[in-house]
Every structure is written in C-alpha cells, then in structure tokens.
Amino acid sequence: MTLVDLFRQLSLLVGLPAVLLAAAAAAVVVVARDWRLVIFAYAFLSTMLALLLSQLLPTEWALLQAVVGGLIAVMLFLSARQLRWRPAGPLSWEARWPQVASLSSFRALAVVLAAVTFWAVRDRVQLPRVDTLFRDAILWLSLLGLLGLALHEEPLHAGLALLTVLGAFELLLFALIQDRMLVGFMEGGQLLLGLAIAYLVVSRGLAFPDSAGQSDSSGRLQ
C-alpha cells in the first residue's frame, strides 16, 4: 500500500467531518498553552487540510500539505524539546516557557466571540469558485489564525497561527488555481517558514531561566 492509498483510506472524513475537525484543531492552536497539545493540533489541522485539498487537487499534490505540516510539527517538537522544563523547577507554571500574554479562559472567550462573528458574517462573505462548506472553513480558519496572531507574541503560538492563516488561504487559492508549481512554492515556502519559526522558538525559549538549553553570558546560542 502506497502512502497515497493510505491517505485515500481517510476519504470517509472528506467534507463536513474534516471541516469540523480542522475548525476544532485551529481553536486548540489558539487557546491551548501546552506546547505538545498545540503542536499536535497543528499536525492534525494539516492532515485535515490535506484531506480537504484532495477535493481540489490531485491526491499526490494534496498529500504534500500533510507531509509539510508533519515536518513542521517535528521541527517545532524538536525545538520545544530543547526547552523542556526542569522536573522540579522552582518557577510557577505561569513563569515557564512558553509564556503567553493572556489567560486560557480569556483566549477561549475570544474564540467564542470569533464564533459569534463567524455566524454573523458567514452568509455575507462571497468567495469565487468556492462552495459553502469550503467558504466556512476558509472564513473560520482565517478568523482564528488572525485571532491567534493578535493574542500571541510567543513564536510557537504566533507561528502556528500564521500557518493556520496560510492553510485557509491555500483552500481558496487551490480552488482558483490548480498549478503544480504553485503547490510546490506554497508548500516549500511553508516548510521554510516553519524552519524560521522553530529557530525563533529556540531563541525566545532559551532566554527563560528554566529552560534546559543554556546560553552564555552574551546570550549567544550554543
């Protein structure tokens, strides 16, 4: 069984289930603080996006989204592992990496408000060559991605929020243009973006005193 065949086994999810699961994963990316949960949610979101893209593109091309999303998740996981917490660190939960500028309850409330906005405006949004299900997916993922960018300064969360926005955009772009080169550029670009985000995650995380990684007195990464 090839990877593409394996991917096709998941075709049961294509359509509304994939949209709902992607929407939930995007909400987790914005709300959750735990890095493991956030990275897992992003990897899951990428898989759901790949399933949705398989309705617009040849399966092999759509599969790239899952592969790239998985690679980004691995890069971020390895970066975050370098910053893992000490078992008996003296710092409180709030003081540890990753630090976020708001409470989880506040972010959850913001997501609820985004949902209200979504229900209020969804019928007024018109996108070319996109059916209502995809329109809803694009709108919801864009809204939550932008919300994540507004709420987070921590590179891990903000970076994944940016990738969520780009994922939403891909649904629109590939509904309009089915071009092999463009698929390659978009996925390759996302991979490089993931690399830059992983670098920023390490740079930011090493500044925290409880991180396992060490920096010298000049702050230079070792």
Partner 1 sequence: MIAGPVALLALLFLACGLVYLLRRFETMAALLAAGVTAVLAYATWRLPLDTPVRLAGRPLWFGQQVVWAELTLQLTPASKALAVFLLALAAVSFVLAWRTYQGRTFFPFGLALVALWILVALVQPLTLAPLVIVLAAILGVFLIQAGKAGQTRGAWRQLLFPTLAVPFFLVASWYINQAPLNPDDRTPYRVAAWLLIAGFCLLLQPAPLHVAIPAVAGQAPPVVAAFLWIGGQSVALFLLQRFLVTYPWLSAALDSASWLLWLGVFTAVLGGVLTAVQRSLGGIAGYAGLYDYGVLLVAMGLHGTAGLPTATWLILTRTLALLTFAAGAAEIRHHMVADRLEQLRGAASRLPWSVAALAMGGLALAGMPLTAQFASRWALLQLVTENDPRWALFLLVGAAGVLIGTVRASQACFGRLSASPVEREPLSMVLIAAVLISAGVLLGLVPQLLTAPVAAVILPLSALGP
CB of 139 to partner 1, least distance (A): 14
Beta bridge partners of 211: 85
Q: Does 113 bind partner 1 (CB under 8 A)?
A: no
As beta bridge partners, residue 186 has none
Is position 193 an interface residue for partner 1 (rule: CB under 8 A)? yes
Quick one: 5 or 216, whose CB is closer to partner 1?
A: 216
Q: How far is the CB of 8 from partner 1 (least distance, A)?
A: 28
How far apart CA 172 and CA 137 sit, in angstroms, is 10
Query: Interaction with partner 1 in 163-192: which residues (CB under 8 A)?
Result: 165-166, 169, 172-173, 176-177, 179, 181-182, 185, 189, 192
Nearer to partner 1, 7 or 166 (CB): 166
Query: Residue 70 belongs to what H/E stretch?
Result: helix 59-82
Q: By CB under 8 A, how many residues form the interface with partner 1?
A: 35
Instruction: Tell the smallest beta-carbon distance from residue 89 to partner 1 (Å).
Output: 18
Is residue 99 a contact residue for partner 1 (CB under 8 A)?
no
Q: Which CA distances in Å does 215 have to 92, 211, 218, 221, 222?
A: 21, 10, 8, 5, 6
- Burial, 70: exposed, middle or buried (Cβ in 10 Å; 0-12, 13-18, 19+)? middle
Q: How far is the CB of 124 from partner 1 (least distance, A)?
A: 16
Q: How far is CA 171 from the centre of its chain?
A: 14
Shortest Cβ 222–partner 1 spacing (Å): 9
Residue partners of 15: CB distance under 8 A and separation at least 6: 133
Nearest approach, Cβ of 19 to partner 1 (angstroms)? 20
Q: Which residues lie across from 55 on neighbouring strands? A: none
Per rule CB under 8 A, is residue 221 in the interface with partner 1? Answer: yes
Q: Give the residue among 138, 219, 141, 209 at the shortest CA–CA distance from 173.
A: 138
Decide if residue 219 touches partner 1 (CB under 8 A). Answer: yes
Nearer to partner 1, 7 or 79 (CB): 79
